[in-house]
Structure formats: C-alpha cells, structure tokens
Structure 1
Amino acid sequence: MSRRCELTGKGVQTGNLVSHSNRKTRTRFLPNLVNVTLASEALARSVRLRISAAALRSVEHRGGLDAFLAKASNDELSQNARELKREIEKKQAGATA
C-alpha cells in the first residue's frame, strides 16, 4: 500500500533534519493518511478510501465526495478514485436524462 492520498495525490516528501550544529540528516516526511468511509449521494452507498487529513477537510468544505470528485482533475486522482468519479458522472447523467 503506497503512502499517497487517493484524492489529492499528496505523497511522501524528503528533506533534511538540521541540528543546532548544522548537521544535516536525510529524512522522509509522511502525509497524514487516514482510512475513512465517505458516503456518495449519487451512488447511494459508502466508499472506503485512504486519504490525507487535509483532503478530508476539503471534501467536507466542498459539500461531500460527489462535489469534490466533480471538481477534481483526473491527473491527481488514484485509479480507484477515477473509477468512482466515472460511476458518479454516469449516474448523474442518467438521472438528468
């Protein structure tokens, strides 16, 4: 399982820990990933995703999973999230037609 957010694409960053004596030690900065279950109103079911805490706040701010995925670009989404976005778009297109 990779350390990458499924919605925003946020991943591991590398850098230096710098001591008081200015010694530099390489380190990895890991994203704050959480396993969450989000409800999709269009699909009328719940979806389990591994996303960052910042992405969780963004999902809530935009008004839910469906609204977040509608606005997100496919480049930053994981394969699982892209399939979910396609399902939601199909369902919403079928409901309006």
Structure 2
Amino acid sequence: MSRICELTGKGRLTGCNVSHANNKTKRVFLPNLQNVTLLSDGLERSFKFRVSTHGLRSVEHNGGLDNWLLKASDDTLSPRALKVKRDLKKKQQAA
C-alpha cells in the first residue's frame, strides 16, 4: 500500500540527515496517514479513506467530505475518491 493521501495527494519526500560533523545521508519523510471513516451528507453513507492528518483538518475546515470533493481537482484524488465524487455529482444533478 503506497504512502499517499487519498484526498490531497500528499506523498513521501526525500531529504538528508545531517550530522554534527556535516555528514549527509539520504532519508525519507513520510506523511502521517490515518485510516478514517468520513460521512457523506449528499450520498447518506460513510466511506473509508487513508488520509493525512493535514488533509483531515482541511476536509473539516471546508465543511465536510462533500464540499472537499467538489472543490478538489481530479489530479490529486485517488481512484476511490474520484468514484465518490462522480456519484456525488450524479446525485446532485438528479435532484
């Protein structure tokens, strides 16, 4: 399972450990991913996603999962999140 946030697309970064003697060795910075269940008001059901803690705060700040998905670009979303976004758009157009 890759270490990429399903909603924001945040992934791993590379950098260097720098010792006191200024020796540099490669290292990896991993995002803080959590398995969460987010509720969709429009679809009236819940979805499980693997989301970074920063992304989780952003979703809550923007008014929930539905608003976040409708505003987010398709490039950053995972295939599962894209499917939820498409279902949400269909439901809104039908109403």
Q: Normalised by the shorter chain, which TM-score bucket?
A: over 0.9
| Superposed displacement of residue 25, structure 1 | 1.0
Mapped pair 1:40 → 2:40: yes
SS at match of 2:55: helix
Contiguous gaps of at least 5 residues in structure 2: none
Indicate the residue corresponding to 2:9 in structure 1.
Answer: 9
Q: C-alpha separation between the residues in 1 aligned to 2:38 and 2:93?
A: 21
Tell me the alpha carbon deviations over residues 25-56 of structure 1, each in whole angstroms, 9 at most, x when there is no partner.
11010000000000000110000000100000
Q: Name the TM-score, length of structure 2 as normaliser.
A: 0.98
Determine what percentage of the aligned residue pairs are the same residue.
60
Q: 1:28 is matched by which residue type in structure 2?
A: V
Letter of the 1:67 partner, please give it: N
Which runs of structure 2 are paired with 1:22-61 in the superposition (5 Å)?
22-61=22-61
- The TM-score with structure 1 as length reference comes to 0.96
> By how many angstroms is 1:93 displaced?
1.0
